[in-house]
């Protein structure tokens, strides 16, 4: 039995943050009913790269049931009310204030269903001057200061994945799990509010404290680290790049003696502590470059591994797909979809000896008729009603 078997989640969701949270609940055995607008979640149309399907949608929506509802219609809102009355969890990430205007705000729902766990995900939260402001991932990266510390000294750069959405989805997921545990103990439901700004703001902890107490924010350093050295990419003699990171003085001493074979650098006052190495980073990189420039990347990695110094090769996404560690640990599964079987990675945190749910990706409204019959509508009535709902 999977941990969330018997839990029903109704999610009025779109895009990334809420679907990411609910997919993880589905992975652990929850039944997730995805409520889509008549044309479907707009993330279905972001691209067509996965055998005609959207890469975002494929990633975020396996193992769910889809019901299509036009919530501008009262008959559709009644269906959603019935669904929520049977649910353990209700998630929504509509535009600011939209759920409340439709009659599905947290206060109204919790009054009718005290045991319900209600999770609302938004860009900036449901109060404050930004509550009505639209929020997309890049814009939240800007507002949290993430872009100001990411990129090169000349060019701020966004993170290459939807990190604000992912952060919000992760806190929604963990918050719902916490609320389910509390309900198991007390019988009480809960209202959760997760904003992308606050979720990503938590992940900005290091630059926040660095700036608050250091008087200035960390500079943009490309693939290097603003506060640790050596930490980042180094070119080898064969033209390939190896990344490494030194975390303490014991590692620095081993690095000098066994990797660089330059023991005299241990006592060099320019490099006698991490702050000194950061201050003299250019000279430090010159010293490392002299040694690495005479070695192949394989030789450098061999020395680093033998010495126990953390390192990595710069891999492309294609090379990550073929990563030997994923293959050795059996991390790939097949998932069904409207386009046929697709490869998917197992979720990273599942209880020992459990196989997570890896169900198919639904078509828009694929389960509308079956869900309506489950709600008590006769088969013919359900068929007619399904046409009216979308």
Domains of the chain are 8-203+345-389 (3.40.50.10540), 231-314 (3.30.1540.10)
Encoded tokens for 374: 């489950």
DSSP 331-388: -EEEE--TTS-EEEEPPS---TTPPPP-PPPPPTTTTHHHHHHHTT--HHHHHHHHHH
N residues, the chain: 390
The alpha carbon torsion through 126, 132, 137, 138 (nearest 10 deg) reads -140
Q: Going residue by residue through the chain, which has 390 residues, state the pLDDT in tens, using 9 for 90 and above.
A: 899 999 999 999 999 999 999 999 999 999 999 999 989 999 999 999 999 999 999 999 999 999 999 999 999 999 999 999 999 999 999 988 889 899 999 889 999 999 999 999 999 998 899 998 989 999 999 999 999 999 999 999 999 999 999 999 999 999 999 999 999 999 999 999 999 999 999 999 999 999 999 999 999 989 989 889 999 999 999 999 999 999 999 999 999 999 999 999 998 999 999 999 999 999 999 999 999 999 999 999 999 999 999 999 888 899 999 999 999 999 999 999 999 999 999 999 888 778 899 999 999 999 999 999 999 888 888 888 888 886
End-to-end Cα separation, the chain, in angstroms: 35
**pTM of structure:** 0.90
| Residue 225 annotated as catalytic | yes
| CB 191 within 8 Å of CB 118 | yes
Task: Spot the catalytic one: 56, 113, 225, 285.
Answer: 225
pLDDT at 384: 85
The alpha carbon torsion through 205, 207, 212, 217 (nearest 10 deg) reads -170
pLDDT at 383: 85
Note the helical H segments in the chain: 17-27, 55-60, 74-85, 98-101, 106-112, 137-143, 163-186, 196-203, 205-214, 249-254, 274-279, 281-292, 297-307, 317-321, 324-328, 368-374, 379-389
pLDDT at 334: 96
pLDDT at 157: 93
Helix (H/G/I), strand (E/B), else coil: 165? helix
């Amino acid at each position: 039995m999977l941990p969330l078997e018997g839990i029903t989640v109704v999610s009025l969701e779109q895009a990334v943050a809420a679907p990411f949270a609910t997919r993880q609940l589905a992975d652990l055995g929850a039944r997730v009913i995805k409520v889509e607008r008549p044309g479907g979640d707009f993330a279905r149309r972001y691209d067509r790269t996965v055998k005609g399907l959207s890469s975002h949608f494929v990633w975020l929506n396996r193992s769910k049931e889809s019901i299509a509802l036009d919530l501008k219609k009262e008959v559709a809102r009644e269906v959603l009310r019935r669904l929520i009355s049977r649910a353990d969890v209700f998630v929504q990430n509509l535009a600011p204030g939209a759920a409340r205007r439709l009659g599905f705000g947290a206060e109204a729902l919790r009054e009718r269903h005290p045991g319900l766990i209600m999770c609302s995900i938004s860009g900036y939260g449901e109060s404050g001057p930004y509550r009505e402001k639209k929020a997309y991932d890049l814009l939240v990266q800007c507002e949290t200061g993430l872009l100001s510390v990411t990129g090169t000294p000349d060019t701020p750069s966004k993170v290459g994945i939807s990190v604000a959405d992912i952060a919000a989805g992760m806190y929604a997921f963990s918050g719902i799990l916490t609320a389910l545990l509390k309900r198991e103990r007390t019988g009480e439901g809960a209202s959760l509010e997760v904003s992308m700004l606050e979720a990503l703001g938590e992940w900005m902890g290091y630059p926040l404290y660095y700036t608050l107490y250091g008087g200035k924010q960390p500079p943009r350093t490309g693939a290097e680290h603003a506060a640790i050295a050596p930490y980042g990419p180094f070119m080898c003699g064969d033209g390939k790049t190896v990344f490494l990171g030194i975390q303490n003085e014991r590692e620095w001493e081993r690095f000098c003696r066994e990797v660089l074979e330059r023991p005299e650098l241990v006592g060099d006052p320019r490099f006698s502590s991490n702050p000194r190495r950061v201050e003299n980073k250019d000279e430090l990189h010159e010293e490392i470059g002299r040694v690495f420039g005479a070695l192949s990347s394989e030789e450098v990695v061999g020395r680093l591994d033998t010495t126990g110094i953390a390192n990595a090769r710069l891999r492309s996404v294609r090379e990550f797909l073929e990563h030997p560690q994923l293959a050795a640990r059996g991390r790939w599964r097949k998932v069904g979809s409207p386009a046929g079987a697709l490869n998917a990675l197992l979720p990273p945190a599942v209880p020992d000896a459990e196989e997570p749910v890896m169900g198919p990706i639904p078509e828009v409204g694929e389960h509308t008729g079956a869900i309506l019959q489950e709600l008590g509508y006769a088969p013919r009535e359900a068929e007619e009603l399904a046409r009216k709902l979308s």
